[in-house]
Amino acid sequence: MSRITREQHQQACAVDLPSFLLMRHPEQVSLEYDSVILNADRHVSVKNTPGWHGYQNWKTGKTGNNIDYLIRFLGYDYVSAINSLLGADATRGAYGISTRRADNPLIAVDARKGITFPEPEYGPYRRLYAYLRQRSIPDSLINELVEKKILYQDTHGNLVFVNPERDMAEIRGTNTYADARCAHMDECAEYCAGKYGWCSRSHNCDKYKKSSFHGSRKASPDRFWYYQPFRKKAEIVYVCEAAIDAISLYVIHRKQNKNCDNAVYVSINGVANQKAIERISSRIRTVLAVDNDAAGEECRKRNPDLEALIPSMKDWNEDLMKGLV
């Protein structure tokens, strides 16, 4: 969007600002009592009421609309402020996530599909952002996935990746605030707390209990999650085992200046999902980008006619975190 109309300006000013700030900028604002406070200037306040818009500066007495807030305090320009705000729906809360449980489309049961999605968290997605940042996923990509409604945080702090067709959800536990998972924390001389309260050695220490929860809900066995970065005709699909690996491979490809215009990055939620592989490969050029382990090798042997791309470490997220791009 390059030319802003008066109607678009008015729509952006009507967006639920507290919900937008808590989900889009969880590190720059804080929820305190009935207000969303700007961390850089605690005099700047937004009333935490669903559907509220505009702010108050209690020190200067000045007020402003949503666009003013983003420009003055968060570094947006006029066009980018409106673009971001219009990613939210003024009547349903930020990014279409309703503040009312009864009409929330993410948790509605579709009788035809027969699945129910986990209940979304209303408030800042702190665990979601902290967990993915720890795993080297850039904020710009996290924001995009949330805006597209294909990623959210549930009330238990889990990541929920939902495909656009809403017939499959991949659920992953986070260990963002889980130092208690390490039974050796007290006696470990090398223990080092990270910014969000986990041990910074968690990925290199065998004693640290990593989050093991990883599940899915599907309407049928051949369903899968996917991310298509550009609105062009898809010509190649990279099939990964998990959503985090799929988006990690995309980030790696961007770092390599690889053309991603016609690519789709897929998670089949485990190599055992052969039906999804067959469904995808019957329609489009498919590259197996599953893990570099025994299960991944068995999958590659099971699909000898497909191209294969193998990570240097166990999976693409490990490659990304170690800078193997």
The span from the CA of 158 to the CA of 118, in Å, is 9
pLDDT at 5 over 80: yes
103's CB contacts (< 8 A; 6+ apart) are none
Query: Can you give the pLDDT at residue 27?
Result: 76
pLDDT at 307 over 50: yes
- Averaged pLDDT for residues 72-98: 65
pLDDT at 38 over 60: yes
- Averaged pLDDT for residues 56-74: 92
User: At 47, phi and psi to the nearest 5?
Assistant: -65, 130
- Averaged pLDDT for residues 107-111: 37
- Averaged pLDDT for residues 298-321: 96
Closest alpha carbon to 235 in 263, 269, 276: 263
Give residue for tokens 């990541």. 159
Query: Can you give the pLDDT at residue 321?
Result: 93
**What does pLDDT average to over the chain?**
81
- Averaged pLDDT for residues 120-136: 86
Query: Can you give the pLDDT at residue 164?
Result: 86
Domains (ranges, CATH) in the chain? 6-96 (3.90.580.10), 109-173+215-321 (no CATH)
Query: Can you give the pLDDT at residue 99?
Result: 30
To the question of pTM greater than 0.75 for the whole model, the response is no
Half-sphere exposure of 111 (CA within 13 A, CB side): 0
With cut-offs at 50, 70 and 90, classify the pLDDT of residue 267: very high
- Averaged pLDDT for residues 272-285: 92
Give residue for tokens 């990270």. 194
Query: Can you give the pLDDT at residue 136?
Result: 94
- Averaged pLDDT for residues 260-281: 93
For the stretch 216-233, pLDDT in tens is 888 888 889 999 998 888
For the stretch 11-22, pLDDT in tens is 899 888 988 888
The mean-pLDDT minimum among 37-51, 105-119, 197-211 falls in 105-119
- Averaged pLDDT for residues 295-313: 96
pLDDT at 193 over 80: no
DSSP lists the bridge partners of residue 236 as 263, 285
